[in-house]
Amino acid sequence: EVRQEKLAAWDPVDLLIPEWRYLQKPALFPQQQNSSGLMVTEMQRDTHLHPRISRVIAVNKMKKANVVLGFTRLDDMDRVNDLVSRLVKLTRNGKPTWAPATEDRGEGIFLQLDLDAVVKWEQSILSTPLWGAYRSAHRRNFERRFSETAKNVDPDLRLPAPRYWLLHTFSHTLIREMAMSSGYGAASLTERIYGWTSTPQREAAAGLLICTTASDSEGTLGGLVALSEPKRLHGLVVSALRRASRCSSDPVCATRTPSDPEDFLHGASCHCCSFASETSCERANRFLDRRFLLNLPTATGVSVPGFFGSLDAL
């Protein structure tokens, strides 16, 4: 019964909580090394790196296991909680004795934002007309694209907090920039977003991991983790944010805001500026807006404070 209760209340974020907690304890880093396939190094921040990026961690080696346990046909796993009842198992009778899996190795860079600054910025976003427009668009999107299985779910509970939009957009801009310096194609880089508010079961998080993994030697070349060096990372972040400040589709892109009957979940974001390939993005290019990164010229009534401020502050 206890197991069934845990399965019913399972949230995909639960998979990320142990990773986030481990990354908060640098004293544990030397204990891992090669025995677990994980090697992590706390990097020194460049003195000129934006102060709202509080920590930089180089993931020199990492190992990722991908296992196929089942599939769904109708609703996204990350937006409806009754996963157990909707997941089609691989076998008709009982639990499978084995499941297809791959074990990939690679490298990555973890960036953590200042949690206090994120909380303060997030509170200023929640009361803006832009966030209200996204809440309404998400509700319309949820009601139109989900089956009867999800009809009793409150769409607001599935809308990621503003900090997730911030981290997600920042991750996409970094992926585009890193692809030009690391030696990997943009489609080979993937993101892992740690962005949730505090609850009784978990502490708040605001960080992102950009990594590349492969079943062959491609994930061990070192080109990505080399970008975590203080001076290189500072230049990369500045360049990425400057590119995010403009788009060839502006001013249409910079002022895009959903209104009834529209239900898209990307505002100031498009293929020209911040969309990523399907293999890179964990949310299918949803929950993106460059206005959460920087103070951009925008339509009257939908302007919001960018987390990193203006370009002059970079």
21-62, pLDDT tens digit by residue? 999 988 888 766 656 778 899 999 999 999 999 999 999 888
Q: Is residue 277 over pLDDT 60? A: yes
Query: Which pairs from 153-159 meet CB under 8 Å and 24+ separation?
Result: 153/80, 153/81, 153/82, 158/78, 158/79, 158/80, 159/134, 159/135
Looking at the predicted structure, is the pLDDT value of residue 181 above 90?
no
Q: Please tell me which residue, 205 or 301, carries the higher pLDDT value.
A: 205
Q: What is the largest CA-CA distance in the chain?
A: 62
Distance CA 227, CA 109 (A): 8
**SS3 state at 35:** coil
pLDDT (tens digit per residue) in 208-259: 999 988 877 555 677 889 999 999 999 999 999 999 999 999 889 998 999 9
Q: Which string of b and e fits 233-262 if b means at least 16 CB within 10 Å?
A: bbbbbbbbbeebbbbeebeebbbbbbeeee
Q: Go through 110-147 and write b for each residue having 16 or more CB atoms within 10 A of its CB, e for each that does not.
A: bbbbbbebbeebbeebeebebbebbebbbbbbbeeebe
What is the rounded CA–CA span in Å between residue 67 and residue 69? 6
User: Using the 8-state DSSP alphabet, how is residue 37 labeled?
Assistant: T
Q: Count H helices and E strands in the chain, helices first.
A: 8, 7
Q: What ranges in 112-153 are assigned the alpha helix state H? A: 115-126, 129-145
pLDDT tens column, 93-136: 877 888 899 888 889 999 999 999 999 999 999 999 999 999 99
What is d(CA 23, CA 16) in angstroms, rounded to the nearest whole number? 11
| pLDDT above 70 for 174 | yes
3-state SS class at 29: helix
Q: What is the dihedral of CA 188, 192, 193, 198, to 10 degrees?
A: 180
Per cent of the chain over pLDDT 90 is 50
> What are the φ and ψ backbone dihedral angles of 178, each rounded to 5 degrees?
-65, -30
pLDDT at 81 over 60: no
CA separation for the pair 268, 270 (Å, rounded): 7
* pLDDT of res. 303: 77
The fraction of the chain above a pLDDT of 70, given in percent, is 88
**Amino acid type, 298:** T
Please state, in angstroms and rounded to a whole number, the distance separating the CA atoms of residues 35 and 73. 38
The Cα–Cα gap between 93 and 137 comes to: 41
Query: pLDDT category, 69, cuts 50, 70, 90?
Result: confident
pLDDT of res. 93: 80
- Section 271-292 average pLDDT: 92
